Structure 1
Amino acid sequence: MSVDQRIIVPLDVPSASAALALVEALPQVSFWKMGLELFVSAGPALIEALRARQKRVFLDLKFHDIPNTMAGACAAAGRYGIDLMTVHTAAGKEAMAAAQAAAIAGAAAAGVDPPTVLGVTLLTSIASNVLAEELKIPLGSTNYVLQMARLAQDSGLSGAVCSPQEAGQLRRFLPADFVLVCPGVRPAWTSSQDQRRTLTPLQALQAGATYLVIGRPITAAANPAAAFERICEECSAAIAP
């Protein structure tokens, strides 16, 4: 898989028209992430529009509820023909297993390929001190993320969302085909902004990330297309065989 196919760009915009304008402005981007704000605003119709343009879709809604509710939501999402989707690992093993089975069933009912269901381990905006002081979780962030990723695997999920700083450790303990999606990736030439546990794109790939989620360094750049190409070139030059 080439570097450009491993970069997912978030559609962090408030409307379908703004999202499609961004997609048209960056034709070289093949994989787009749709989060809560845009899905609530634009709904499944935008997913159809992206698929009609031959784009891959990461539906990042982070479902977190009781098992029956998560199953219903994931069955509905599975029918969209998306590539990746997220649930919170903190919902527990029963809920994740139900989500996985429902996503597969929903896709089968719609005659589309099932999405890869990812378990969100720990939001990249949460640092170890927040985990300890506010959430009262005694594990450090690295060990907590490993625990939750293992729980996702034990629940039947095929991947997890983690910060790039945890990708290396997860790769040592999880199967090679376990998908790791890393947000909070920032090139050295841009600000980390509200992300706390970051690496550069090259460092994240070298650590074992399958996909990188890179937003504002591309979409807020003076020339988004040039920023995307610069990231691809920096990574390709170093990871080429």
Structure 2
Amino acid sequence: MSKDVIIACDFSSSEETLEFLEKMGDKRPYVKIGMELYYAEGPAIVKMLKLRGHKVFLDLKLHDIPNTVKKAMKVLAGLGVDMCNVHAGGTVDMMKAALEGLAEGSAEKGGERPLLIAVTQLTSTTEERMRRDLLIDEDMEKVVAHYAFNAKEAGLDGVVCSPLESKAVHETCGSGFLTVTPGVRFADDDKGDQARVTTPARAKELGSDYIVVGRSITGAEDPQAAYERCVREFVG
């Protein structure tokens, strides 16, 4: 699978989203829809972006009892997204249920099953916070690799992690297991609320399969130029 840059469309409305995407010219980048936009606009935003020719990563991070997640994934399968996710902290059983629901929903709609990935530790989480707030007394790389192992055991396609943990994930789960990595900024950008960050070029060196880039592109004076720069640095 080829590498790709996913733009985090962290907007509050479809109008803002379309206004931004118009700045991409004739390009149709892979986009991420998060909670803010999905909760504001619902399934319509997904359908609209798919009709415009975009691949869509639906980033809702489902985390609940297995049966609830299975039913939710069965519904989401009907939207035609290309990628969606759960929290790895929901256990192997929950991740297996999510995959079952996604597969069943896709089969009923006659479509291809979206990629299903699991969030390991958010890139805003520091090792100190993980130990103090979550009582996880292991180093970050070991925790992320273990969560990735559980996701692979459940049959998932990959995980969300920092680029800094991509190598450990691939060493644990194999090169074909995807690492989708937020926390990517240009070297001259502010890192905002992210703690574990790196550049597109460094993410490529570390083995990320996809990078998720938000403010470095959406907040740029020339978003299309920023996107093209990101693709050059990461994809080549």
Superposition TM-score, scaled by structure 2 size: 0.96
Identify which of 14, 19, 22 aligns with 1:21: 19
Q: Which segment is superposed worse, 75-84 or 168-177?
A: 168-177
Tell me the CA shift for residue 202 of structure 1. Answer: 1.1
Question: CA offset at residue 169 of structure 1?
Answer: 1.2
Distance 1:25 1:134, change over 3 A: same
Q: Answer whether contact 1:9 1:29 (CA < 8 A) is retained.
A: no
- Alpha-carbon deviations, 1:54-74, whole Å to 9, x = none? 110000000000001000111
Task: Provide the residue aligned with 1:126 in structure 2.
Answer: 125
Matches within 5 A, 1:132-211: 132-211=131-210
Q: Which residue identity does 1:14 align to in structure 2?
A: S
Aligned counterpart, 2:65: 66
Is 1:122–1:145's contact at 8 Å kept on the other side of the alignment?
yes
Q: Are 2:230 and 1:226 aligned?
A: no
Q: CA deviation at 1:200?
A: 0.7
Report the alpha carbon displacement of residue 227 of structure 1 after superposing the two structures with TM: 1.1
Give the CA deviation at 1:129: 0.1
State the alpha-carbon separation in 1 of the partners of residues 130 and 165 from structure 2. 15
Q: Specify the SS of the correspondent of 2:105.
A: helix
Given that 1:8 and 1:211 are in contact with CA atoms closer than 8 Å, whether structure 2 keeps it comes out as yes
The Cα shift of 1:172 comes to 1.5
Matched residue SS, 2:56: strand
In the alignment, residue 73 of structure 2 is paired with which amino acid?
C
CA distance in 2, matches of 1:2, 1:160: 16
Name the structure 2 match of 1:8.
Answer: 6
1:131–1:140 Cα contact (<8 Å) kept: no
CA RMSD of aligned residues (A): 1.3
Given that 1:162 and 1:180 are in contact with CA atoms closer than 8 Å, whether structure 2 keeps it comes out as: yes
TM-score of the pair, normalised by structure 1: 0.94
Task: Determine the C-alpha separation between the residues in 2 that align with 1:230 and 1:95.
Answer: 38
How many Å apart are 1:168 and its aligned residue? 1.2
Is residue 80–residue 107 contact of structure 1 (8 Å, CA) maintained in 2? no
Aligned-partner Cα distance in 2 for 1:131–1:123: 10
CA deviations on 1:150-174 (whole Å, 9 max, x unpaired) are 0000011111000111011111121
- 1: distance between equivalents of 2:93 and 2:188? 43
* Per-residue CA distance 1:91-114 (angstroms, 9 max, x = gap): 101110000011011111112211
CA–CA separation in structure 2 for the residues paired with 1:145 and 1:53: 35
CA positional deviation for 1:198: 0.9
Look up the equivalent residue of 2:192 and give its one-letter code.
Q
Asked whether the equivalents of residues 77 and 102 of structure 2 are also in contact (C-alpha less than 8 Å), the reply is: yes
Q: Is the 8 A contact 2:162 2:181 kept in 1?
A: yes
For the 8 Å contact 2:88–2:151, the answer to whether it is kept is yes
Alpha carbons of structure 1 residues 24 and 56: separation in structure 2 relative to 1, 3 Å = same
Higher relative contact order (Cα pairs below 8 Å, separated by 6+ residues)? 2
Number of the residue aligned with 1:79: 78
Which letter maps to 2:127?
S
8 Å CA contact 1:32–1:58 kept in 2: the answer is: yes
Determine the C-alpha separation between the residues in 1 that align with 2:18 and 2:107: 28
> 2:41 maps to which residue?
42
1:197-218 CA distance string (max 9 Å, x none): 1111111112111100001001
Identity between Structure 1 and Structure 2 (%): 36
**2: CA distance between counterparts of 1:206 and 1:174?**
18
Q: Contact between 2:31 and 2:57, CA under 8 Å: does it hold in 1?
A: yes
Confirm or deny that 1:215 pairs with 2:214: yes
